[in-house]
Amino acid sequence: MVAGMWHHLLIHSLTYHLFWRYKDLREREKTYQIAKLCKYLCAKGKSVLVTALTNRALMEVAGKSSLSEMIQNKQVYKTKITSDESKEIPSLQLEKDVTPKKGCIVLATFFVSSGVAAELASETPFDYVIVDEASQALLAMLGAARLLGKQVVFVGDTNQLPPVVQLKKSKIRDNNYLRLVEGLDAVTNNGAMPLYQLTESFRLCNRAVSYTNFFYNGNLSSKSKMRFTDIPNLFFMHKEGGPSLIKTDMGIGDLAPESALKLTLAVVASLVSYNSKMEIAVLSCMRKTVRELQKTINSHIKNTNLIIDTVARVQGLTTDVCIFVIPNTNYLRSLEPRLFNVATSRSIIQTIIITDKEILDYSRMNINVRQYLEKLEQDYSFYCPYNGNKVLKLPTDNIKIINYILYEYIRTCRQIC
C-alpha cells in the first residue's frame, strides 16, 4: 500500500468494522503515519486516545512534525509527564483523568489505559483508540482498548517483541495461554477485520532492507533518502550503510567479556569523535551485559546522544547507529528471532553487531537469524583478536581512547571476506 493513501482507506474501513490492524514492518514510518492519522481525526473534531506499553513510544508519536501545530495549540495531552519529557516537548499538556477531548489527543500507557477501562460502566468515552506497539499487548489489553473506543486501530508487528510475562514458557504452553499472552497474534489470526501492511521502509537503506527481509519473506522495500559516504578511518562503517559484523574472542558463559566491552568502547569513541551529534544506541539482550557496558562507556564518554539499554526496552527507537553486543552465552535469548529483528532494525545509517568468533557454530539458531549472519559474514565482517593478558589503562580523552584501543584491536582487524 502507498503510505499516503492508507489513512483514507482506514477511515473508510472503520465505517464498517470495529477493529482494524495495521501490520507495519518498521516503526519510523509507522509512528509518522500514526501522527498523521491523529491530526486527520482531530481536524474532524474527534477525540483520540493513543496508548502504548512505554512512555518512550508515546513521546515518539508526540514528537512527530505533523503534530507540532497541535502541540503549540495545547491539543496534545499525556499522563505523568517527567521533567525530561517536559524539556523535550515543553508544550505537552498534563492529563490527569484520561478523559476524551474533542479535537485533542490523549497519550497514556497500557497500564494507565487498562486501569481506566476497568472502571468504565457502560459508556465508550473516546471516538478513536490507537494501540501502538500492539505486539506487546496482552489480549486483555486489546479488549480494554475496545471498551475505551468506538473505533479501534491496532498498530503492530507480530515479528517483533511479544509481551513480557513472568510465567514460564512451559506453563504458558501446557495451559494453552499463548493466545492470552500474544494478543495481537491471536486477534489477527482469528478475527474478521481488515488488515493492511506497509512494505515501504523510510528508516532502512537498501542494504539494510536486504538483511531485514529474511524476517519478512522479501516483502520490504527501502524508501530511505539517506546518502552515504565512505569513511576510511571507520572501517566498520559500510559505504552503503546497513549492518556489519565484528567478531572477537569471548569467554564461554561470560556476560561481561572484556573484549566486547573494550571493543564497543572503541567503536563508540571513534563514532563520537567523528560526529559528536550522531545518535548512538548500544544494545544487548542481557541486563548484566548492559550494566557493564554502561560502566565501561559512561566512565570515559559523556554524550547526551548515547543510549545504552536492553533490546526489550527500545522497541520503537530510531537512531543513527546501533551497536548490538551478543555475549558468548545464552544464545537462546540473544538470537531469538523477534529480539534479533528489533535490535538490528533500529538504525538509519549503520548496525554494528559484535559477537564471538564462533557464533555460527551454535546449532539451535533460528533459520532466519542464521541466514542473516551467514550472509553478513560473507558480505562485510571482521575479526579482532583479543589478548586477555593485556589490560589497558584508558585515558579520559576520546581521541586518546581511540589511539589506545583501536591500536590494540582495530589495527589487527582482519576482514573475513
Cell of 416: 573475513
Whole-angstrom Cα distance, residue 241 to residue 239?
A: 6
Judged by average pLDDT, the poorest of 197-206, 227-236, 404-413 is: 404-413
Whole-angstrom Cα distance, residue 388 to residue 235?
A: 23
Whole-angstrom Cα distance, residue 206 to residue 138?
A: 34
Whole-angstrom Cα distance, residue 344 to residue 208?
A: 9
More confident residue, 406 or 254: 254
User: pTM for the complete prediction?
Assistant: 0.77
Q: Give the amino acid at 236.
A: F
Alpha-carbon distances, residue 74 vs 35, 62, 128, 221, 317 (angstroms): 15, 12, 19, 37, 25
Instruction: Please work out, in degrees rounded to the nearest 5, the angle formed at the alpha carbon of residue 182 by the alpha carbons of 180 and 184.
Output: 105
402 sits in the region (left: phi over 0; alpha: psi -120 to 50; else beta) called alpha
Q: Give the residue range(s) of CATH 3.40.50.300 domains in the chain.
A: 3-198, 206-415
pLDDT tens sequence across 120-160: 877 899 999 999 988 888 989 999 999 999 999 998 888 87
Length of the chain: 417
pLDDT tens sequence across 171-223: 777 777 777 877 788 887 776 677 777 787 878 899 999 999 999 988 888 88
Give phi and psi for 13, each to the nearest 5: -70, -30
Predicted local confidence at residue 339, as pLDDT: 94
Instruction: Flag whether pLDDT at 93 surpasses 90.
Output: yes
CATH numeric code, 3-198: 3.40.50.300
Domain 206-415, second-level architecture: 3-Layer(aba) Sandwich (3.40)
Instruction: Flag whether pLDDT at 69 surpasses 60.
Output: yes
Predicted local confidence at residue 254, as pLDDT: 96
Average pLDDT (8-12) is 46
- Tell me the three state secondary structure of residue 354: strand
Nearest to 193 by CA among 154, 160, 138, 157: 154
Cell of 410: 582495530
**What is the CB neighbour count within 10 angstroms for residue 180?**
15
Q: Which helix (H) or strand (E) holds 190?
A: helix 183-190
DSSP 8-class letter at 92: P
